[in-house]
Amino acid sequence: MEQTFNIGGMSCGGCVASVERAVRALPGIEAVQVDLTSSSAKVVFDAAQIDASQIKHAIEEAGYDVLA
């Protein structure tokens, strides 16, 4: 499954790396691509192992906002 998350609060490459690290640490993540320009993260994951709310929570725990 693929989902794009709109992220608030990213301002630099370090922010991008932080979000990528937080998401990659989760089980069931197949790919993550964070784009600073569009303030978004495209995540490919195994829906049998993880759901979007858990990914959102990990991004928020890393210190960023997930926008609707």
> Could you report the per-residue pLDDT of 30-58, keeping only the tens digit for each?
999 999 999 999 999 999 999 999 999 99
**pTM score, two decimals?**
0.95
Instruction: State the average pLDDT over residues 12-20.
Output: 98
Q: For all residues of the chain together, what is the average pLDDT? A: 97
pLDDT at 68: 72
Number of domains in the chain: 1
CATH code, 55? 3.30.70.100
Instruction: State the average pLDDT over residues 6-22.
Output: 98
Q: For 25, phi and psi rounded to 5 degrees?
A: -75, -15
Range of the domain at 38: 2-67
Hey, which bits of the chain come out as E strands?
2-8, 29-35, 40-45, 65-67
The answer on pLDDT for 62 being more than 80 is: yes
